[in-house]
């Protein structure tokens, strides 16, 4: 995915296709007096195409604001992609304070065949 620069003619086409209106604030762009840029309706990082159909004119100031907002959305999309790729590492669960597992030597008890318990011989010795 490469970001190619538009020719002057293509820039004019984008502006004309939007009838000279900023895609973000909806106000008219005066191309002589105001700085304006061609922006991607769907950001490239979110899979938007680099074709003229995905491009609209916007004031430079409006465009800067949208790019700042898009950064969070793009970061989230990357986290989701990571999870789907199996590289997402969730926080590890903390085990509760350990108690010896009942019936093990560590419990210090042993269960007899009649169901009663007695101190484990290895512990009492
Ligand atoms: Zn604007």
Supply the DSSP string of 28-65, one letter for each residue: BP-TTTS-EEEEESS-GGGT--SSGGGEEEEEHHHHHH
Tell me, in angstroms, the distance from the centre of ligand 1 to residue 4's CA. 23
Q: Which residues of 28-49 are buried (b: 16+ CB within 10 A; e: fewer)?
A: ebeeeeeebbbbbeebeeeeee
Confidence grade of residue 91 (pLDDT, cut at 50, 70, 90) = low
Residue 17 confidence (pLDDT): 93
Give the distance (Å) from ligand 1 centre to CA of residue 28.
8
Per-residue pLDDT for 123 more than 60? no
How would residue 11 be classed by pLDDT, with cut points 50, 70 and 90? Answer: very high
pLDDT at 93: 67
Both structure tokens of 80: 């989701």
Cite the residue boundaries of each domain of the chain with CATH code 3.40.1800.
8-84
pLDDT of 90: 64
**Is 110 in contact with 118 (CB distance < 8 Å)?**
yes
Q: Confidence class of residue 124 from pLDDT cuts 50, 70 and 90?
A: very low
Determine the distance separating the centroid of ligand 1 and the alpha carbon of 2, expressed in angstroms. Answer: 26
Domain 8-84 class? alpha beta
Q: Which residues place a Cβ less than 5 A from the ion ligand 1?
A: 22, 24-25, 59, 62
Q: Count CB atoms within 10 A of the CB of residue 74.
A: 13
Q: What is the pLDDT of residues 17-37, one digit of tens each?
A: 999 999 999 999 999 999 999
pTM: 0.56
Residues ≥6 apart with Cβ < 8 Å to 1: 44, 50
Of 50-54, 67-71, 95-99, the one with minimum mean pLDDT is 95-99
């Amino acid at each position: 995915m490469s970001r190619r620069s538009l020719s002057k003619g293509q820039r004019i086409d984008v502006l004309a296709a939007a009838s000279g209106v900023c895609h973000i604030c909806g106000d008219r762009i005066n191309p002589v007096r105001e700085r304006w840029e061609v922006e991607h309706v769907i950001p490239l990082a979110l899979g938007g195409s680099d074709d003229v159909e995905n491009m609209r004119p916007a004031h430079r100031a409006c465009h800067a604001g949208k790019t700042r907002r898009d950064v969070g959305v793009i970061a989230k999309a990357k986290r989701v992609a990571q999870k789907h790729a199996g590289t997402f590492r969730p926080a590890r669960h903390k085990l509760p304070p350990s108690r010896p597992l009942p019936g093990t030597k560590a419990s210090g008890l042993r269960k007899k065949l009649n169901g009663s318990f007695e101190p484990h011989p290895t512990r009492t010795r």
